[in-house]
């Protein structure tokens, strides 16, 4: 049943729910009306009958010899047709009519009320003429010296309003199915109209392809839920289009970077094969080819590393790390690179512990120090500092290199980005280091920051959350 329901269209399900809910509400409303009308019309009449019964029981007496006394006066049979309220009847122990006092001529009536049920209180309705119905209340009436008891019955005209109950019930029975049918049809039409923008959204979304990501869903009314859905979908399309563009740029840049060493390898090999050469010349050519192969291998490894960093887990597992010790170990490993360029690395050490992943943190820090060594001139100082700033611990690396132009600072974490002056190919950079560092910091729940150093250089900061 659930699978069947889930396979139905949204129009069908909304219309059915609308119809079922409306049917239940209409049925409950009709029943409430009927009960209310019945209570307000029938109960007052029954209450009046009981008041009449109390009045008759108080003023009526039956003496031996079936003598009827009303307020101390004997009632003669000739006053029956002139009687006013309250109307009443007396039936003896054998079910025979003793007397009937009402203002009707019995000869003009089509039929008379039959005998009441013995020893039981009942309320009945009698049709005595085409335009006259009587509502009666019958009760046992004890008479001295008579066993079993007689029956006394009071009568009132069954009001036309009370007769309307059956007509009301008939109207409800006939009208309810018609109203439900209209409700179902109206529900389907209304839901189809309301959901028409959704159908349009489906058709527009179906026309969007990977080759045409510039299409967007129309937002006609910014206030309803469907329009908000279209807006969110458009935002998602914007992100998707941006991702596709970034992917295209990434593929183009990666292809360009890989094509260069491959072309060099092929050119060197072709040149080597043009004529015979000495062993030393072949050794030099093979060395050049191995150098380009190593460059190609390094680029491939960096691309795979970046893909794993950006496509892996969002946060890395953490453990308590003494940052000053971790930074000192990293500086010892990279210190030889600085010595080769007659550079000096200064570390402003202080005790600081934080929960983080030590391996990923060291990779991020190594990238920054490697860049600082690579792009700073000889005989300069690289400063590494550690400080607590609010909710973060900041590890900063400051160099005395050429810095980054203001218009290029927003691109420093883009793949393959190299500033013209500072990221030259002859220095071995691929423009992936800062992209990797930024991805590492996202995995650690932190961020990478940049600001220009004064008077010259760059300052990069690794912002690690304290908790």
Q: What is the pLDDT of residue 398?
A: 93
Per-residue pLDDT of the chain (467 residues; tens, 9 = 90+): 667 656 666 666 777 777 777 777 777 777 777 666 666 555 677 888 899 999 999 999 988 888 889 888 888 777 776 777 799 999 998 889 988 998 888 888 889 999 999 889 999 989 999 888 898 999 999 888 777 889 999 999 876 555 566 666 777 788 778 877 877 777 777 777 777 777 777 787 877 776 777 777 777 666 666 777 778 888 888 888 777 776 666 666 566 557 656 776 787 788 778 888 888 888 888 887 887 787 677 667 766 666 666 555 455 567 899 999 999 988 887 887 888 888 999 998 788 889 988 888 888 898 899 888 888 899 999 999 999 888 899 999 999 888 888 877 777 777 666 665 444 444 556 677 788 788 888 888 889 999 988 888 899 999 999 87
Q: What is the CATH number of the domain that holds 35?
A: 3.30.450
- Map tokens 């090999």 to a residue: 269
Task: With respect to residue 213, please indicate whether it lies within any of the assigned structural domains.
Answer: no
- Rounded Cα distance, 22 and 411, in Å: 60
Inter-residue contact 444 to 356 (CB < 8 Å) = yes
**296: domain CATH number?**
1.10.287.130
> What distance lies between CA 309 and its chain's CA centroid?
32
Q: What is the pLDDT of residue 88?
A: 93
Tell me: do 116 and 258 sit in the same domain. no
Please give the Cα distance from 396 to 383 (Å, whole number): 8
Same-domain check for residues 44 and 127: yes
Range of 272's domain?
Answer: 225-309
- Whether 443 and 335 map to the same domain: the answer is yes
Instruction: Answer whether 225's CB lies under 8 Å from 201's CB.
Output: no
For residues 345 and 376, the answer to whether their CB atoms sit within 8 Å is no
Enumerate long-range contacts of 267-271, CB under 8 Å, 24 or more apart.
Answer: 268/292
Shared domain check, 298 and 262: yes
Are 159 and 20 part of one and the same domain?
yes
Task: Look at residue 421 in the predicted model and tell me its pLDDT.
Answer: 45
Same domain, 21 and 87: yes
Among 261, 287, 309, the domain-final residue is 309
| C-alpha span between 432 and 306 (Å, rounded) | 8
Domain assignment of residue 356, yes or no:
yes
Residues forming beta bridges with residue 464, ordered by sequence position = 393
Pairing label, strands 87-91, 150-157: antiparallel
pTM for this structure?
Answer: 0.46
Shared domain for 285 and 373, answered yes or no, is no
Whether 331 and 304 map to the same domain: the answer is no
Clarify whether residues 253 and 364 are in a common domain: no
Q: Is residue 384 part of a domain?
A: yes
Residue at a domain's end among 260, 277, 309? 309
205 in a structural domain = no
Residues 448, 439: Cα–Cα separation, whole Å: 9
List the CATH number of the domain containing 412: 3.30.565.10
CA-based angle 27:32:37, to the nearest 5? 130
Q: Specify whether 20 is located in the same domain as 51.
A: yes
The number of C-alpha atoms within 13 Å of 326 and in the hemisphere containing its C-beta is 22
Please indicate, yes or no, whether residues 288 and 319 belong to a single structural domain of this protein. no
Domain count, the chain: 3
* Cα gap 452→251, rounded to integer Å: 31
């Amino acid at each position: 049943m659930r699978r069947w329901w889930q396979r139905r269209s949204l129009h069908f399900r909304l219309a059915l729910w609308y119809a079922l809910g409306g049917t239940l509400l209409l049925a409950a409303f009709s029943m409430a009306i009927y009960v209310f009308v019945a209570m307000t019309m029938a109960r007052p009449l029954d209450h009046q009958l009981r008041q009449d019964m109390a009045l008759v029981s108080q003023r009526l007496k039956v003496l031996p010899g079936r003598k009827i006394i009303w307020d101390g006066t004997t009632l003669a049979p000739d006053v029956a047709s002139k009687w006013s309220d309250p109307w009443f009847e007396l039936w003896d122990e054998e079910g025979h009519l003793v007397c009937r006092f009402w203002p009707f001529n019995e000869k003009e009536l089509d039929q008379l009320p039959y005998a009441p049920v013995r020893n039981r209180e009942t309320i009945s309705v009698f049709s005595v003429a085409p335009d006259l119905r009587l509502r009666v209340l019958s009760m046992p009436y004890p008479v001295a010296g008579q066993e079993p008891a007689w029956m006394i019955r009071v009568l009132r005209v069954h009001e036309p309003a009370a007769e309307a109950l059956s007509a009301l019930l008939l109207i409800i029975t006939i009208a309810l199915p018609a109203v439900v049918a209209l409700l179902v049809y109206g529900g389907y039409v209304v839901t189809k109209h309301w959901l028409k923008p959704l159908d349009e959204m489906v058709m527009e979304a179906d026309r969007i392809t990977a080759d045409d990501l510039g299409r967007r869903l129309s937002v006609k009314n910014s206030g309803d839920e469907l329009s908000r859905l279209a807006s969110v979908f458009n935002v998602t399309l914007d992100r998707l289009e941006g991702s596709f563009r970034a992917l295209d740029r990434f593929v183009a840049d990666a292809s360009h970077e890989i094509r260069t060493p491959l072309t060099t390898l092929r050119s060197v090999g072709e040149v080597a094969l043009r004529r015979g050469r000495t062993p030393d010349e072949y050794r030099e050519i093979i060395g050049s080819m191995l150098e380009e192969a190593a460059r190609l291998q390094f680029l491939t490894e960096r691309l795979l590393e970046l893909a794993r960093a950006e496509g892996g887990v969002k946060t890395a597992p953490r453990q308590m790390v003494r940052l000053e010790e971790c930074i000192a170990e990293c500086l010892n490993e990279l210190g030889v690179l600085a010595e080769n360029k007659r550079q000096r690395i200064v570390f402003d050490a202080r005790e600081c512990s934080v929960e983080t992943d030590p391996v990923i943190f060291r990779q991020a820090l190594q990238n920054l120090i490697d860049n600082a060594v690579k792009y700073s001139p000889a005989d300069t100082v690289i400063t590494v500092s550690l400080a607590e700033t609010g909710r973060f611990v900041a590890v900063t690396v400051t160099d005395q290199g050429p810095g980054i132009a203001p218009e290029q600072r927003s691109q420093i974490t883009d793949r393959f980005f190299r500033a013209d002056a500072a990221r030259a190919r002859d220095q071995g950079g691929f423009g992936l280091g800062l992209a990797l560092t930024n991805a590492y910091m996202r995995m650690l729940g932190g961020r990478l920051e940049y600001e220009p150093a004064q008077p010259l250089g760059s300052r990069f900061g690794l912002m690690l959350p304290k908790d």
